[in-house]
Amino acid sequence: MMEKLHTFREDLEKVWGDQWSVTSEIGKLRSVLMHRPGKEIEGITDPSKIYFRDFIDVEKARWEHDQLAQVYRDHGIEVNYVEEMDPGCPNAMYCHDLILGTPEGVIVTRPGIEIRHKEVKYAAQKAAELGVPIVKTVHGKGIFDGACATWVDKETAIVGTGSRCNGEGLKQVSDTFRDMGVKNIITLSIARNQNHLDGFLSIVDTHVAVTYPYITPDIIYEELEKRGFEFVEIPAFDEKINFAANSVALEPGKIVMPKGAPRTVELLNKKGIEVIELDLEEIKKGGGSVHCLTAFLKRDDIPVYEVKED
């Protein structure tokens, strides 16, 4: 009699020691990967050459990063650090781009800007050290940043192509998702100067998403509306560039986000969303914020959304 073959996911805890699974942006967050800014952000002479907006106060940036990590710990979230890093990788604190959590482990990415290519090795080494399965490494001519994908539920993911995800990267990631049982891969084109989905989209509760309406493609509204979502629309460009969409849900309806978007916070509060605001002014000068700093390793599952067609 042939022994029943378990799925990879069913074997995760038994074989890999934990449920290393990410299937949404809002399931209770359990474990993250981060890189505390190190020597690589010291001695910068030209911020524009490394895709920074301005010079960074190094010590304050480290303090800001520590505050975010402490919020995670205060909410029972395991914080794992990528401690080793090439000193020529000043963008390495933005860990979300380096690995992408999936239902069965992580995908190691291949960032869209060459200065970041070395970073992924160190993130992959740390993931392996923790026992997290590496289910795919983007390779060949593929380009893919982790923030080019957003999980809706275990059957639905949004993936955006553009300057940080090319067609080959999309194909490799989409094929991997399908192998894991993802039925709906919503694809769209990200505007050239936006880079990532988390510049204009964040899912913050079971049926609430934050968008910046002037650049959010209709397909996001259409697909999320089919699943019963309402939207908090960032009301002004200054709040958009202050990373109002760049938040992390600790659990459904409770998020951490950077200060600088008071009108968006007011709208979120009216929807019943609890918001923890952090001073991340130096971190933001590097072109990223809360979501960019945080690679998700483990979240609780959420129910699959019922899709209501017109």
Q: How confident is the model at residue 6 (pLDDT cuts 50, 70, 90)?
A: confident
Could you report the per-residue pLDDT of 71-114, keeping only the tens digit for each?
A: 999 999 999 999 999 999 999 999 999 999 999 999 999 999 99
The Cα–Cα gap between 270 and 263 comes to 11
Topology given in CATH for the domain delimited by 18-197+279-299:
L-arginine/glycine Amidinotransferase; Chain A (3.75.10)
End-to-end Cα, the chain, rounded Å: 48
Domain residue spans in the chain?
Answer: 18-197+279-299
pLDDT tens per residue across span 282-308: 999 999 999 999 999 999 999 999 999
This prediction's pTM: 0.95
What is the CB-side half-sphere exposure of residue 300 using CA atoms within 13 A?
12
Q: What is the mean pLDDT of residues 222-236?
A: 97
- pLDDT value for 302: 98
pLDDT at 264: 98
